[in-house]
Structure 1
Amino acid sequence: MAVALGGAAVGLLGALSFRALYVLWRIVESGFSRSPAAAVTFPLLGLLASYLLVDTFAVNKSIGSATGIVLAEYHTKGAPSLRDSVVRTFAGVATIGFGGAAGPEGPGILIGPGIMQYIARILGIRSRRGRLTLAGAAAGLAGVLKTPATAILYALEVPFTRGIEKEPFLEVVLAATASYAVSVALTGPVPLFAVQVQLISGPATLVWSAILGVVAGAYSIGFSKLYGLAGRASSTMRLRGGFALTVLTGGAAVGLLGLASRSSIGPGIDLMGSVVLGALAIQSLALLLALRSFTVTATLNFGGVGGLLTPVVINGALLGALYAKLLGLEPISFYALVGAAATLAGTYKILLAPAAMVVELSGVGFMIPALLASAVSYAVSLPTTLFRFQLTGSAKEEALLRSIYSKLKGSQFLSHLRVSDVVNRAVRSVKLDDPLRVAIEVMTSEGLDELPVVDEGGRLVGRISIDDISWLGESRLDAPVSSAPLLSANSIGLDAPLDDAIERMLTAGIRTFYAVAPDGVLVGVLDEMAIVRALMGHI
């Protein structure tokens, strides 16, 4: 009930944020015709407003693509606050409304997790934070694009490049469906990209779709590398020149490219229609594909906040239409849509969501060509990914720690850190004489796999795993913890160097250390995610 209520709230707020940025963009766009200089000035103002909003009012200062922000929160088990979600939503409206090349789904994806967490807290509902984060993102996407199946599959596929996150399935489905229902009730059922596409079939169509998949995969590699390079350049620029130089560079780049073609900036909603209709010449398609690749990259790496999914879809449609026109293939609309799906698969490393998007936009007849092109693009572009926090598989904690440690190993910052600097002192434990029932209740309510066990003096004596006691019958749950098999606990001193602890974790496969005082008293817990959260802001 709480998830559905949260999804409905996200649908309402997502629709309102989309309307706000759309109206603002139309006002700004009308100013471009009166003054060419406005094409440079307004995007710069949008990036400046976005950066200042986040830097001034948000606790978490992350900017950039909505999906990248959500993945960082999900994999580090952060709880996006309502405050940060609202601030980033306004930042997204400013970025896109003033002409930044970002997707209008961004504010919806960003407001979703904060709303879900807030409603769950108000209603006293316990749920693992990551589940609500993905459910909120799915609700935000479904409410804006009005493609609920695409939103559901996106949320389940995007956390990993080689797998699907199954645990939050129910929450994601409920939230996305409720958001979609509210959005349709408010603004009608037509998707954001409502396209009429002529269906073609036959073996030749599949061959041309597969070749388009190769082309889209190659483009995905290039775009992902460009996006990553811009991110590193932006980080360096912020360190050396401050935010003013960073935003000025990004805003000027977006604005100057916008002078070359107005269609290269803004949300690109109208552009998608022109591409699918085949209204653009080969030169225009090639120019816009190049320009939008750079404007999207500059917008989201140099101060802006917004969606990256719809810009990728639009670029993929440009690529598909260009491919069809160069080879004399018809209809242009078919290959534009297949190109959009294949490019989304190659850049986002998702397979099912792109095919679902094509089906929701144009009908089930497009599923096989879209799936084929998406699979080829996905395979060609591996292992390149757009997102730093998109992991390869389910062992996400170790993968994150290994990635971050490789960047900071040997640095002066890391060498000065001790276990005491990052340890979580709010550690839950049970005593030897506590009933086993208490241990199970604590682990299930807190979502823990194990608990440290202490003696009467608070000294660490071992740990107990839920797998070892959950199978016990009801009659045995009143027995003391000391009657259950205790596992050895990996302890570490508070003064131990943090880099030594990380090395031990990665070489010995240790997931959790229990920090103890010199007399053996348990004082905290140090796990992989605690270290990741402490270090991620310094890479």
Structure 2
Amino acid sequence: MRLLRALPKRLTLPTLGRWVALSALVGVVAGAGAIVFYYATNYAGAFFLRDLAGYVPPEEGVAHGPRVDSLAMSFRWFLAFIPALGGLVSGWLVYTFAPEAEGHGTDGAIDAFHNKGGLIRARVPIVKTLASAATIGTGGSAGREGPIAQIGAGFGSFLATRLGLTPADRRVLLVAGMAGGIGATFRAPLGGALFAVEVLYQNPEFEHEGLIPAIISSIVAYSLFGAVTGWEPLLQTPRFRFTYPPELLVFLGLAVACALLGMVYVRVFYATRDLFHRVPVPAMWKPVIGGLALGALALAVPQVLGSGYGWIQAALRGHMALWVMLVVCLAKVVATSLTISSGGSGGVFAPSLVIGAMLGGAFGATADALFPALVQDPRAYVLVGMAGFFAGVSNTPVATLIMVSELTGDYGLLAPLMLVSVVAMLTARATTIYEKQVPGRVDSPAHLGDLVVDVLEGIRVRDLGEQGRPPTLVAEDMPLPRILECIAAADTAYYPVVDRQGRMTGIFSVNDIRRILNEDLPPNLVIARDIAVPRVVTATPDEPLSQVLRKLSSRGLEEIPVVDPDDPGRVLYMLSRRSVLARYTRELEHRKGLYAEV
């Protein structure tokens, strides 16, 4: 950790090498977390479902298997109570140690990005890992995407916080962590990177600042995960090829079907959550109730248990009856809502793929019976339905079509995948399974000020000089107890650290003081130089105020030191974000008045 703390001092922010190092480190931890989570869920599932309850679903990645013409399966009667056991463990862990870890973790990471400066408590990834392994391993209808996204994002946030990086940089590492976890878990490095930067927004926008770190993290995590678990795609498919353009008309019908069912899915999902919120029992018991309801459903439709990749594999082989796929499709909507909306811990990606695959398989079989001259291979609709359905409910068409291609190792259906994903997303624009998404970058608190600075054009920092506050200068060798006395009566948010000549060598904030206090170090051994960040973001009196607002917004700063341009070490005064935004408001009102007169 000492080496990591030294890293920002040796490398400047724009340096590519620094971002490569940090993103690669996040990728290593995300990949390791994905490995632990992978084996934890597999071992739990093997023990509780296979060995204890005698429930053996088809395996993913296996090219051969029996035909599924019935919902009947062999299992022991107490299978119905095993999901409730997972709900009990998950509910106790989550609501005792980290309530924000409930539900599907991708939403938690999105919320942290937009509204919390990229902050995720360090305990959340640990709690999320254990709770999700309990939920998924006991048959909960949930996937690995949400938990591993929050695990990777949590470490990215933790690393940035420990290194004292800005909120903007912390958000970038959060995105990199999401990408690494998802890219590794689904053996989809490109899809994972694109998903992390696309899922933040409802509109077709990307968080472009995080794209390169996301790619680096995803590559590293995928490589580590593949070296341990293998390199084969998660699902085996026939060699599909698109060679008949008129079939796009049928795929267009599938896109509309995916969008319509997606809207139903989202409404059922959140209606179930609202219903559980009204249940008058302690929150930790609600996943138990959801687990009991899921177990009752599993007695009739056992195919709803677990992530369900084995059933997708059976559909891709063409070994599932049409009516079975329809029943599993609708039952999986209910099962996922009971598992996650009750407070259980898990992701919505895998269940959504199962729903889309079953819908696509049933649609393809029906289209093949009605229009045999148009449909080349009805099994292809399973793969396309997976992408179309999830793209419609998540507003991530680009990432989804790439991820599904990487999941199956089959790129022969790119044209239908693109058509169905985009049309499904456009048709279902008003709904999303990720309620913490914002419409676009301009709507995100994380980018407040990015697109409104031109109102300040022509105004200089010196125009706000009278609103500047005298700096509270702290000597480099001042010990921590005296620092606390010095800043107790100060009215500034940041404190420049100066050498014996009075020239600034660093700066720190109250949050930096709290970080040091939390480390349980002897106060008299800590001096100002140890606390200060050496690379200081500054402004000069002649600098445009619009540029200063960009600095404040992009780095999440509340105050900036204004320095002498001829002597950058001499601090003239401290300028607050509040003063800049107040001037912006006055200028905006003034311009509105001018427009009204015109």
TM-score using structure 1 length: 0.76
From 5, 11, 14, the equivalent of 2:34 is: 14
Whole-angstrom distance in 2 between the partners of 1:166 and 1:68: 19
Aligned to 2:256: 214
The residue aligned with 2:404 is 358
In structure 2, the gaps of 5 or more residues are: 1-20, 55-73, 369-374, 449-489, 497-502, 510-532, 542-546, 553-559, 590-598
2:350 counterpart (310, 335, 343): 310
1:459-474 to 2 correspondences below 5 Å: 465=549
Aligned counterpart for 2:142 among listed residues 102, 117, 137: 102
Q: Which whole-Å CA distance do the structure 1 matches of 2:90 and 2:383 have between them?
A: 32
Instruction: Give deviations 1:159-207, integer Å, cap 9, x for gaps.
Output: 0011111111122111111000101111111122333342232212222
Q: Which moved more, 1:270-279 or 1:98-107?
A: 98-107
Shift of the alpha carbon at 1:50? 0.5
Change (3 A) 1:302 1:447: farther
> Percent identity among equivalent residues?
24
Aligned twin of 2:440: 393
Provide closer, same or farther for how the CA distance between residues 440 and 170 of structure 1 changes in structure 2, counting only shifts above 3 A.
Answer: farther
* CA distance 1:327–1:109, change in 2 (3 Å): same
Q: Residues 197 and 304 of structure 1: is their aligned pair in 2 closer, same or farther, counting only changes over 3 Å? A: farther
Instruction: Please report how far the alpha carbon of residue 427 of structure 1 lies from its aligned counterpart in structure 2 after TM superposition.
Output: 6.3
Q: Deviations over 1:30-55 (max 9, x none)?
A: 23338643222110111111110011
- Residue 154 of structure 1 aligns to which amino acid in structure 2? F
Report the residue type matching 2:325 in the other structure: L
Are 2:212 and 1:170 equivalent residues in the alignment?
Answer: yes
Q: Does the 8 Å CA contact 2:114/2:445 hold for their aligned counterparts?
A: no
Aligned partners of 2:106 and 2:145 also within 8 Å: no
Aligned to 2:70: none
Aligned-residue offset at 1:339: 0.8
- 1:122 to partner: Cα distance: 5.5
User: Match for residue 182 of structure 1?
Assistant: 224
**Does the CA contact (< 8 Å) of 1:197 and 1:334 recur in 2?**
no
Deviation at 1:129, TM superposition (A): 1.9
Partner of 2:111: 72
RMSD between aligned residues: 3.9
Specify the SS of the correspondent of 1:306: coil
Deviation of the 1:388 alpha carbon? 1.8
Correspondence 1:93 to 2:133: yes
Instruction: Tell which structure's C-alpha radius of gyration is larger.
Output: 2
Alignment of 1:138-177 (within 5 A): 138-162=179-203, 163-177=205-219
**Residues 292-343 of structure 1: CA deviation (Å, up to 9, x unaligned):** 0110111011121111112111211111101011111442321111111111
Cα 1:483–1:356 change in 2 (3 A) is closer
SS of residue in 2 equivalent to 1:128 = helix
Partners of 1:222 and 1:377 in 2: CA distance = 13
3-state DSSP of counterpart to 1:307: coil
1:2-401 to 2 correspondences below 5 Å: 2-30=22-50, 31-33=52-54, 36-58=76-98, 60-76=99-115, 77-120=117-160, 128-162=169-203, 163-237=205-279, 240-243=280-283, 246-328=286-368, 329-360=375-406, 361-397=408-444
Report the AA paired with residue 241 of structure 2.
L
Partners of 2:94 and 2:170 in 1: how far apart? Answer: 22
Residues 142 and 474 (structure 1), Cα distance of their counterparts in 2 relative to 1, 3 Å cut:
same
**Alpha-carbon distance in structure 2 between the residues aligned to 1:311 and 1:47:** 17
Deviates more, 1:392-401 or 1:156-165: 392-401
Q: Secondary structure at the match of 2:53?
A: helix
Which whole-Å CA distance do the structure 2 matches of 1:120 and 1:314 have between them?
Answer: 36
Q: Given residue 24 of structure 2, which amino acid in structure 1 is its aligned partner?
A: A
Please say which of residues 22-31 and 249-258 is displaced more in the overlay.
22-31
Q: SS of the counterpart of 1:167?
A: helix
Partner secondary structure for residue 418 of structure 2: helix
Gaps in structure 1 of 5+ consecutive residues = 402-424, 432-436, 454-462, 492-503, 509-539
Cα 1:296–1:475 change in 2 (3 A) is same
User: How much has 1:251 moved relative to structure 2?
Assistant: 1.3
8 Å CA contact 1:132, 1:171 repeated in 2:
yes
Query: 1:495 maps to which residue?
Result: none
Q: 1:100 to 1:259 in 2, by over 3 A?
A: same
Q: CA deviation at 1:430?
A: 7.5
- Aligned residue number for residue 63 of structure 2: none
* CA shift for structure 1 position 344: 1.2
Q: Deviations over 1:271-300 (max 9, x none)?
A: 110111111111101100011011011101
Between stretches 469-478 and 386-395, larger displacement belongs to 469-478
Q: Tell me the distance in 2 between the aligned counterparts of 1:359 and 1:184.
A: 17
| Aligned-partner residue type, residue 351 of structure 1 | P
Q: Which moved more, 1:177-186 or 1:11-20?
A: 11-20
Aligned to 1:332, the other structure's residue is in SS state coil
1:368-395 deviation line (CA, Å, top 9, x unaligned): 1101111100110012111221110113
Q: Relative to 1, partners in 2 of residues 1:320 and 1:78: Cα closer, same or farther, differing over 3 Å?
A: same
Alpha-carbon separation, structure 1, partners of 2:165 and 2:34? 23
Q: Equivalents in 2 of 1:85, 1:107: separation in Å? A: 8
Instruction: Give the letter aligned to residue 335 of structure 1.
Output: Y
Q: Distance in 1 between matches of 2:413 and 2:563?
A: 52
Between stretches 22-31 and 366-375, larger displacement belongs to 22-31
> Aligned partners of 1:109 and 1:392: how far apart in 2?
21
What's the CA shift for 1:108?
2.0
Deviations, residues 333-359 of structure 1 (Å, cap 9, x unaligned): 211111111111101101111221233
Aligned residues: 458
1:97–1:266 CA contact under 8 A, matched in 2: yes
What is the rounded CA distance, in whole Å, between the counterparts of 1:319 and 1:236 in structure 2? Answer: 32
Give secondary structure in 1 for the equivalent of 2:209.
coil
Counterparts of 2:367 and 2:535 in 1: how far apart (Å)? 55
Counterparts of 1:109 and 1:483, CA distance in 2: 39
User: Which deviates more, 221-230 or 187-196?
Assistant: 187-196
Counterpart secondary structure, 2:292: helix
Cα separation, 2, equivalents of 1:16 and 1:166: 30
SS of 2:431's partner is coil
Q: 1:4 is matched by which residue type in structure 2?
A: A
TM-superposed deviation, 1:447: 12
TM-score by length of 2: 0.69
Contact 1:112–1:136 under 8 Å retained in 2: yes
* Contact 1:464–1:487 under 8 Å retained in 2: no
Whether the 8 Å CA contact 2:505–2:569 is kept in 1: the answer is no
Q: Please give the alpha-carbon distance, in whole angstroms, between the structure 1 residues aligned to 2:278 and 2:491.
A: 36
TM-fit CA distance, 1:74: 1.5
Q: Quote the Cα distance in structure 1 between the aligned partners of 2:77 and 2:288.
A: 15
2:493 matched residue in structure 1: 428
Distance 1:170 1:470, change over 3 A: farther
Question: Which residue of the partner structure matches residue 61 of structure 2?
Answer: none
Indicate how the Cα distance of structure 1 residues 48 and 375 shifts in structure 2: closer, same or farther if over 3 A, else same. same
What letter corresponds to residue 174 of structure 2 in structure 1? T
CA shift at 1:227, angstroms?
1.2
Change in 2 beyond 3 A, CA 1:143/1:482: closer
Per-residue displacement from partner, 1:473-501 (whole Å, max 9, x unpaired)?
9647467646999994568xxxxxxxxxx
